[in-house]
Amino acid sequence: MAILSDILTGRIRQEMKSRVEQVLKAGDDWSRTAKELIVAMDRLTEAIKSGSVDPKSLEGMVKGTKHLAANTEKLTKAFTNFNGTLERTLTKIES
Structural domain range at position 47? 22-85
Please determine, for residue 91, whether its predicted confidence score (pLDDT) is greater than 60. Answer: yes
Is 8 a member of any domain? Answer: no
Residue 1 lies in a domain: no
Based on the structure, what is the number of domains in the chain?
1
pTM of the predicted model as reported, rounded to 2 decimal places? 0.73
The answer to whether residue 4 is domain-embedded is no
In a domain, 75, yes or no: yes
The pLDDT of residue 32 is 93
94 lies in some domain: no
Are 86 and 55 in contact by the 8 Å Cβ rule? The answer is no
In a domain, 66, yes or no: yes
Residue 88 has what pLDDT?
A: 84
In a domain, 78, yes or no: yes
What does the alpha-carbon distance between residue 45 and residue 30 come to, in Å, rounded to a whole number? 22
Which tens digit of pLDDT belongs to each residue from 7-64? 656 877 788 889 999 999 999 999 999 999 999 888 888 888 888 877 777 888 888 8
74 lies in some domain: yes
Question: What pLDDT does 92 receive?
Answer: 74
Rounded Cα–Cα distance for residues 41 and 68 (Å): 13
What confidence tier does 95 reach under pLDDT thresholds 50, 70, 90? low
